[in-house]
Amino acid sequence: MSAESAGLSLTQRLQSLWSDDRQGVYAVLLGSRVPGLGARLEDADIDDWGLLWSGALDPAEREAAPCLVRLRRDSEFTQWLLSDAATSHGDWGLLLCSRHSFVDMRTHGRALCEASLADGSELRLDWADPAVLQALLPLAPPQQLAWLFTGVESIVIATARQWSRLSLALGRLQVQRSDLLAAA
C-alpha cells in the first residue's frame, strides 16, 4: 500500500524523525557510495557507528562496507547527510527509526548482510541499497518483511527530492511518499 502526502521542509522532516523520544534514528550508509566515509565518521558529531560487514576486512572492503550510525538530531553530520549527501551521493543508504540499542541494531544489520546459498556458500548483501529495497520489499512474503522490520518502527529513504517512509502494519508493507519542499 502506498500513500502520497504533502511536501515538508527538511526542518519538518528532522522533527518527524525525532518525534518519539523513546526511539533512536540510525543511518545505514553504503560505503561504496560515499567516498571518504570512514574519515568523515571519525570526526563526526554522532553517538556511535560500526561496520555491518563483520570479520577481517581488507582496506578496500572496509571502505566499501555499509555502516550503521546512530544520529544526533542537531548535529552537523545529520544536516550534511540529509541535505548535501542526499544531493551529491544519490542512493547513499537509508534511515531506521527504532527503540532498540545501537548494539542490537548493528547485530540485526549484520545478520541482514549475510545470506547462505543452497550450496552452503555465504554471500554478502547490500540490503540497504534504496533502489533494491524499494523494488524487492513489495514482493517479499510476510515472514521476510517481519524479519527485516525486527525492532524497526520505520525505514526512511531520503533523497534530495522525496522521502519514502516504509513501515509494517498488520504484516503488510506501508509506503508513504512525500516531496521535499525547496528551502525558502
Average pLDDT per 10 consecutive residues for the chain, totaling 184 residues: 59 84 94 90 92 91 94 92 79 94 96 87 87 89 93 90 90 88 59
The predicted structure's pLDDT at residue 172: 92
The predicted structure's pLDDT at residue 160: 76
Range of the domain at 25: 2-180
CA proximity to 130, closest of 157, 150, 149, 111:
157
Q: Structural domain tally of the chain?
A: 1
Strand duo 162-169 + 154-158: pairing: antiparallel
Reported pTM: 0.89
d(CA 85, CA 117): 34
SS3 label, residue 67 = strand
User: Residue 173: CB partners within 8 Å, gap ≥ 6?
Assistant: 1, 137, 138, 140, 145, 166, 167
